[in-house]
Structure 1
């Protein structure tokens, strides 16, 4: 659809978003929103490993900006039962404890999530099929700023077979 292509091209150009055909995960993206930790947009994670991501509302100061949500991706070669565990940190001084949330997607659909209150949460997938999966992680208070945004909150994400 050439008309749609032109509209998308104009929109991304105006928003300083770099698009490369076939680059489904924005590997060529150079706009980091003012924080180098925002790139790559989709960091790889592999079974049996832990990645640390940091959800923040700075430098933008708003709940729906680059940096608030962190994304990881992984490939699954065979059917597996999986667990995605997220672990936040206890508060220091006057800040509230972390409250990490996690969602797991495949082909645009949410397959599992953990959004309970607390320092840790899990998303469990039973008999996950081979393919590409995305994990979305964020600090709840950075999304719902009426909850008293914590600001920078680092979260350990562990992907394991169970």
Structure 2
């Protein structure tokens, strides 16, 4: 899958020449790049503006990406942590670290391990650069009590 190939190539070696970088908060810029690698076309609401700072809010903000995807059910279906069995590789994962209602971090699902009823999910992302960061570690150890959500992307 071209999307995962892209993510695993650039999770730590940023593709700065093509996409730039948002210092300290590059997670959605990276997720958006991955969606382009998946084959998504930029739109008037979701686009790279030549550098990430002039890109649309949906391209560079976790909460804005959430709002944009929620307004476009043809692109993605919202899932919560009870729906882990429906998550697929390449889907978007978003976190609300403090349960304030906004989205604080965004990544791309890179591994799914199933063992009976247990589903463990790993993701890649920028900001805390990672290729196979464990969702459960992120919401229990790194950010205790955080909420996790997924976007099941349309094929």
Q: TM-score, length-normalised on structure 2?
A: 0.22
Higher share in strand? 1
Structure with higher Rg: it is: 1
Pick the structure with more helix per residue. Answer: 2
